[in-house]
């Protein structure tokens, strides 16, 4: 199989990460309400049209509407996002992943498509660099199935920060269009929750 054929035909699944402790927020972020539904329901609904299947990584209660979704447990000996992302790779090794954290309330459908459009033969991961300052965004990103060996190397060596992937050839760090960058706004505290989001969206509720 040629690299071009691999990129064009391999399935892309969506992975929603809910494994964080939400200590600063004080309650599970994936269950925060906005517009009559939880953040995780909103994230899953955005991913579904763009991927073959959605998987939820991490422990925690889910709304009844998502009771039938596939789930994977975080890799127990790891911490942070790597624990959920690597768990997804290990359970479904023939799949590439469009990964989204549960605390990104302003994800735009166009941002998901932009990530998918960045796929090319030889690209192992797409981790945006919003301001072109070296600060990468691993939690709304694309990870090709060929990226798994790199994640395994990181896990085995105790390197748990996803940004370390930038050291490997094949990991690209493009800058998304300005109009899409709000999609990477993450929320960790009640104060951040009160900040403005996309125009026309209702305010989130704890």
> Which residues are within 8 A (CB) of 134 and not within 5 positions of it... i.e. 6 or more apart?
none
User: How far separated are the first and last CA of the chain, in Å rounded?
Assistant: 49
> Which residues are within 8 A (CB) of 200 and not within 5 positions of it... i.e. 6 or more apart?
none
| Residue entry with tokens 């911490």 | 79
CA 124 remoteness from chain centre: 15
pLDDT at 159: 84
> Which residues are within 8 A (CB) of 137 and not within 5 positions of it... i.e. 6 or more apart?
127, 128, 129, 130, 184
| Residue entry with tokens 């447990």 | 73
pLDDT at 186: 85
- Give me the phi and psi of 162, to 5 degrees please: -60, -30
pLDDT at 35: 74
- Which domains are assigned to the chain? 3-192 (3.90.550.10)
Phi-psi map region of 68: left, alpha, beta (phi>0 left; psi -120 to 50 alpha): alpha
pLDDT at 22: 52
pLDDT at 26: 47
pLDDT at 5: 45
DSSP 3-state helix, strand, coil percentages of the chain (rounded to 5)? Answer: 35, 15, 45
pLDDT at 47: 97
Report, as ranges of residue numbers, the positions in the chain whose pLDDT lies below 70. 1-9, 19-28, 188-206
pLDDT at 32: 84
pLDDT at 175: 97
C-alpha distance from residue 167 to each of 105, 172, 182 (Å): 29, 10, 26
């Amino acid at each position: 199989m040629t690299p071009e054929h691999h990129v064009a035909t391999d399935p892309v699944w969506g992975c929603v990460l809910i494994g964080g402790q939400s200590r600063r927020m004080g309650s599970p972020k994936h269950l925060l309400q906005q517009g009559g539904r939880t953040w995780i329901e909103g994230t899953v609904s955005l991913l579904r049209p763009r991927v073959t299947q959605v998987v939820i990584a991490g422990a925690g209660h889910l709304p009844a509407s998502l009771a039938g979704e596939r789930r994977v447990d975080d890799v127990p000996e790891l911490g942070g996002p790597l624990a959920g992302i690597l768990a997804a790779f290990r359970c479904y090794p023939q799949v590439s992943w469009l990964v989204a954290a549960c605390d990104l309330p302003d994800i735009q459908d166009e941002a998901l498509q932009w990530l998918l459009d960045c796929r090319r033969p030889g690209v192992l991961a797409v981790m945006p660099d919003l301001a072109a300052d070296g600060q990468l965004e691993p939690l709304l990103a694309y990870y090709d199935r060929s990226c798994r060996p790199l994640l395994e190397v990181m896990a085995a060596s105790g390197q748990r920060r996803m940004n370390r992937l930038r050291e490997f050839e094949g990991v690209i760090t493009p800058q998304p269009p300005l109009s899409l960058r709000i999609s990477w706004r993450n929320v960790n505290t009640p104060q951040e929750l009160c900040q403005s989001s996309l125009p026309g969206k209702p305010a989130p509720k704890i």
